[in-house]
Structure 1
Amino acid sequence: MLVAEAVGRALAATGVEHFFGVVGSGNFHLTNALVAAGARFVAARHEGGAAVMADAYARTSGKLGVLTLHQGPGVTNALTGIAEAAKSRTPMVVLAADTGAAGARSNFRLDQAALAAGIGAVHERAATPASAVSDVLRAVRRARTSRRTVLVSLPLDVQAAVFSGDLAVPSSPAAVQMPDLAALAALASLLASARRPVFIAGRGARGAAAAISALADRCGALLATSAVARGLFNGSPWYLDVAGGFASPAAAARIAEADAVVAWGCSLNMWTTRHGALLGPDAAVAQVDVDPDALHTGLGVLGDAAATATAVLDLVAPSQGYRTAPLPSVRWRDVPFDDLSGDGRIDPRALSIALDDLLPAERTVSVDSGNFMGYPSMYLAVPDEAGFCFTQAFQSIGLGLATAIGAAVARPDRLPVAALGDGGFLMGIAELETVVRLGLPMVIVVYDDAAYGAEVHHFAGQDLSTVTFPDTDLAAIARGYGCAGVVVRTPADLGAVRDWLGGPRDRPLLIDAKVSAARGSWWLEEAFRGH
């Protein structure tokens, strides 16, 4: 058997069930070997989309993301998606074909190690035919145990060589990182002194909700999450929803009044803290994380979120804490607003509330970047943390549709909802064919202001001709791909959405929502402060 076939078999033996990519000559045999070994291949129309699909699949399923690429332009086409995954510490393995020893003058030649380093990914190389399988399995272990995105270079001559090594796949259970006793005591002391504690959980706390909730019950802490962990504490009457720029006024006020804030697997970046303004000047701050580089504010506790919360539970006496009265509504949809619908445009808040009422509760919401993104992120409810996929670590627009595809593959039991701006939709439109080909019953909502809305509002009063565009019938374009399509200008136009939901859902639905551009979203001014 050839090395390419051996690598495919070994990867399947580690539990790889789905993988994504675009096939060229350099990854043809490897892709077919993985398929033959039982993994399902999801073919994208662009490598950038494939990378985002693998990332979103990993986030939503909790499993390893796997991406396969042709050498040269196949790799460079995928870089934005790989950078997003690396910045998010998504456990993902990128199987990148590479020029072999005789490829010094190949058009496809790249310094893949330098590319990986430049975007924050880890690099590995299948060095020889004898070591190739173990090299790839090392990458898998590192991706899973260290939560890293690993790019593996697979030279063509190594892939084509005869494999004579061992195909045994060793088990590699992830070790739980326990904090030291001094750090646990310090965290317990901080909580014992707190009268208004707030816990903010990030993506690193997925899987730790029960342990963190138990500790919050013990010390009377209110619960919040970063945007990427939205839904983690659904069902708790003490859940404030998202902290940071997306926080509702009621939630932001309570976080700002906290005298102790503990971040669990959350980097407390400028978005989650509103550039620090959301944390009171006298608040004690602690961070719990397995990544030492993430510990930058206050008391740093290096350890697993669930293990740390469980250990501290026995060190803290019961307290009412911040739970002195029931919380008011923290939902954005309950905040009064002046409806700006009119002149053939619908207010994005009115649109989002109407969609929230129409769409089934069992949904997976995936959101692209742009001026619009706060509306679907905060006005559309999600069932749990797996029901919200937010690929925003790199702040690229154009990733939303591919995100929704990866999330839909991970959770076929839920209605996939892609929320996009018109600019991001048109950047990623190639993957609309993928949605149709896969038969996904996806609802694609385009918040269409015929512009790059963030720039329109940020540079208001200046020449905006470079960021505004003619109105386009995106629903008609979608119908050309095989979708159902509807243009929405008023709430009454959403009747077509209700009809689609009540029907067989045998094709995706694209909603071209002509939204009002009369004002920028509430988070926009703060967002541009970070540029």
Structure 2
Amino acid sequence: MIVAEAVGRTLVRLGADRAFGVVGSGNFHVTGAMVAAGARYVAARHESGAAVMADAYARVSGRLGVVTVHQGCGLTNALTGITEAAKSRTPLVVLAADTPAADLRSNFRIDQDALARAVGARPERVHGPDTAVADTVRACRLAVSGRRTVVLNLPTDVQSREVALPLPEPEAPRLHSPAPAQEAVAELAGLLARARRPVFIAGRGALRGPCSQGRPAAEALRELGAATGALLATSAVARGLFHGDPWSLDVAGGFSSPLAAELISGADLVVGWGCALNKWTTRHGSLIAADASLVQVDVEAEAIGAHRPVDLGVVGDAAATASAVTALFTGGGPSPAEDPPQDGRHGYRSPEVRARIERELAWRTVAYTDDSAGGSIDPRTLSVRLDELLPRERVLAVDSGNFMGYPAMFLSVPDERGFCFTQAFQSIGLGLATAIGAALARPDRLPVAALGDGGALMGVSELETVVRLGLPMAVVVYNDRAYGAEVHHFAGGGTDLSTVTFPDTDIAALARGLGFTAVTVRGEDDLASVAAWVNGPRSTPLLVDAKITSEQGSWWLKEAFHGH
């Protein structure tokens, strides 16, 4: 057996059940070894798409992600997807072939270690036949235990060397949740006991990752919320974590509905659970009242207070910390909401607040003037109707752009595994590949990709991948014939916008040529074709080229620009 085969087999033994990639001569053998060991290989049409698919697969499945690329140009092509994964702290191993150390004049030669570090990934290397298994295990442990994206460089000359058999049995990485200090738990319990209007915001750190141990954070936070009267919210990336809870405010931040923003900004205590509390989640700080106490719970000390000062930082796992605080309350510790009012309210939970959440929380209940006209459909109307037409059991992936708030908030999701939001790098063009990875992680659900026309055309090659894989996917293109974010950012005062506007493109025709059922939507009546596809056999994927109105920027974008 050669080193490449040993590395591939070891990855599968450590739990990698899929590999995404574009195969060239440098990664041919290691990819084949993974397939021979039982992993499924998914061929993308571009390395960036492959990296994004692996990222999304890891997020939605809760398993280790693997992407495999050729040396040099294969790695540079994948770099945007790797950057997104690294910034999102996705447990991902990038199997990157590398040039031999002595081949100084190779066309493919670049400093792959430096490239990985530059985008926030961790470079590792397979050094030789004697360490091949140990090097692979180390990379997987770093990815899983540290929630890191690891670039595992595999020089082609090392790959071909023979290893001694039998291979050592690798030990699967295990992740134990760090417990918080007791004094920190007591201080947080005291703050919650005194709070009259507490709000919890759960982020990426509250989602379960590969090899997670113990109870889910959502369960622990619901229990603590019930004990303290806290309302529940999430950052955008964790949307769906509290789906179905009557006290859930959905997303905190730029996507918040008016009622959610009102209630969050009215809190006297906000606790972030595995949440960065960055400018997007706090609306540039405006969602946190000036006199509110702010607490941040995170497994990494360096994350606490990184975006804004906090009154209390707790280093600990979200689930473990919430459970420890709940134990204080239920074990005769501090009583929440001291001197409670006589109006039936428990913390922030009153009959009036619950009734308002039921009536007013969802964006679809917020009144608006339908701007559909002249052969274009209002993106709000489009999104509301799609939410009615598409099955509830769905996994939604949303690309970046001016349009993104409409599908992200008007389309419901069944839980946190039903929403995949690759926005840490804020690159457009990743949405379709995200949907492919998410679809393979949840084959029991309808995959929905929501894209802008700019992002759709950037990732258009992966439409062929959707057809080839036989995915019953609905791809919705919010087509405003422009880079809408730039149009609405710079519009006014006679500014020339010709650099960010384009002629209308028949994206439906492109998709049809690749094997999609495709429809063009200019008004509500055109959505009958979507209903027909949903009710039919769905033997081909669907693309909806929706010509949307573009006279004004989206609400979230106005808020984002206001903060600059």
Please give the TM-score of this superposition, normalised by the length of structure 2. Answer: 0.93
Determine the structure 1 residue equivalent to 2:481.
Answer: 450
Give the distance between the partners of 2:361 and 2:118, measured in 1 at CA: 40
For residue 429 of structure 1, give the secondary structure of its aligned residue in structure 2: coil
2:436 is the counterpart of 1:405: yes
Q: 1:327 to 1:255 in 2, by over 3 A?
A: farther
Determine the structure 2 residue equivalent to 1:367.
Answer: 398
Amino acid across the alignment from 1:142: L
Determine the structure 1 residue equivalent to 2:318.
Answer: 305
Give the distance between the partners of 1:482 and 1:431, measured in 2 at CA: 12
Instruction: Quote how far apart the aligned CAs of 1:441 are.
Output: 0.4
2:328 is the counterpart of 1:315: yes
Determine the structure 1 residue equivalent to 2:350.
Answer: 324
Amino acid across the alignment from 1:87: K
Give the distance between the partners of 2:224 and 2:76, measured in 1 at CA: 45
Q: Contact 2:72–2:108 (CA<8 Å) still a contact in 1?
A: yes
| Counterpart pick for 1:261 among 270, 275, 282 | 270
Determine the structure 2 residue equivalent to 1:114.
Answer: 114
Instruction: Quote how far apart the aligned CAs of 1:526 are.
Output: 2.5
Give the distance between the partners of 1:327 and 1:226, measured in 2 at CA: 23
Q: Contact 1:353–1:380 (CA<8 Å) still a contact in 2?
A: yes
Determine the structure 1 residue equivalent to 2:515.
Answer: 482
Moved more, 288-297 or 459-468: 288-297
Instruction: Quote how far apart the aligned CAs of 1:259 are.
Output: 0.3
For residue 171 of structure 1, give the secondary structure of its aligned residue in structure 2: coil
2:343 is the counterpart of 1:342: no
Provide the identity percentage: 66
| Counterpart pick for 1:358 among 382, 389, 392 | 389
| Counterpart pick for 2:556 among 516, 523, 527 | 523
Give the distance between the partners of 1:125 and 1:134, measured in 2 at CA: 11
Give the distance between the partners of 1:32 and 1:379, measured in 2 at CA: 42
Q: Contact 2:508–2:519 (CA<8 Å) still a contact in 1?
A: yes
Instruction: Quote how far apart the aligned CAs of 1:172 are.
Output: 2.9
| Counterpart pick for 1:218 among 208, 224, 227 | 227
Give the distance between the partners of 1:374 and 1:343, measured in 2 at CA: 23
Amino acid across the alignment from 2:436: I
2:532 is the counterpart of 1:499: yes
Determine the structure 2 residue equivalent to 1:381.
Answer: 412
Listed as ranges, the gaps of 5+ residues in structure 1 are: none
Amino acid across the alignment from 1:475: A
Determine the structure 2 residue equivalent to 1:279.
Answer: 288
For residues 302-324 of structure 1, the C-alpha deviation after alignment (integer angstroms, 9 at most, x for no partner) is 11110100000022335510002
Give the distance between the partners of 2:103 and 2:278, measured in 1 at CA: 43
Instruction: Quote how far apart the aligned CAs of 1:530 are.
Output: 5.8
Give the distance between the partners of 2:458 and 2:561, measured in 1 at CA: 22
Q: Contact 1:6–1:167 (CA<8 Å) still a contact in 2?
A: no
Instruction: Quote how far apart the aligned CAs of 1:480 are.
Output: 0.4
Give the distance between the partners of 1:473 and 1:175, measured in 2 at CA: 51
Amino acid across the alignment from 1:172: P
Determine the structure 1 residue equivalent to 2:342.
Answer: none
Determine the structure 2 residue equivalent to 1:180.
Answer: 181
Determine the structure 1 residue equivalent to 2:340.
Answer: none
Q: Contact 1:237–1:327 (CA<8 Å) still a contact in 2?
A: no
Amino acid across the alignment from 1:517: S
Listed as ranges, the gaps of 5+ residues in structure 2 are: 208-215, 330-334, 338-345
Amino acid across the alignment from 2:185: L
Q: Contact 1:132–1:158 (CA<8 Å) still a contact in 2?
A: no
Give the distance between the partners of 2:13 and 2:220, measured in 1 at CA: 32
Give the distance between the partners of 2:473 and 2:44, measured in 1 at CA: 16
Amino acid across the alignment from 2:37: A
Determine the structure 1 residue equivalent to 2:192.
Answer: 191
Q: Contact 1:83–1:121 (CA<8 Å) still a contact in 2?
A: yes
2:464 is the counterpart of 1:429: no
| Counterpart pick for 2:241 among 228, 232, 239 | 232
Q: Contact 1:129–1:162 (CA<8 Å) still a contact in 2?
A: yes
Q: Contact 2:193–2:336 (CA<8 Å) still a contact in 1?
A: no
Q: Contact 2:144–2:173 (CA<8 Å) still a contact in 1?
A: no
Amino acid across the alignment from 1:349: R
For residues 106-151 of structure 1, the C-alpha deviation after alignment (integer angstroms, 9 at most, x for no partner) is 1111111111111011111111221122111101011111111111
Give the distance between the partners of 2:481 and 2:386, measured in 1 at CA: 21
Determine the structure 1 residue equivalent to 2:46.
Answer: 46
For residue 352 of structure 1, give the secondary structure of its aligned residue in structure 2: helix
Give the distance between the partners of 1:264 and 1:103, measured in 2 at CA: 49
| Counterpart pick for 1:394 among 419, 422, 425 | 425
Q: Contact 2:3–2:128 (CA<8 Å) still a contact in 1?
A: no
For residues 342-377 of structure 1, the C-alpha deviation after alignment (integer angstroms, 9 at most, x for no partner) is 100000000000000000000001000000000000
Instruction: Quote how far apart the aligned CAs of 1:529 are.
Output: 4.9
| Counterpart pick for 2:259 among 250, 266, 275 | 250
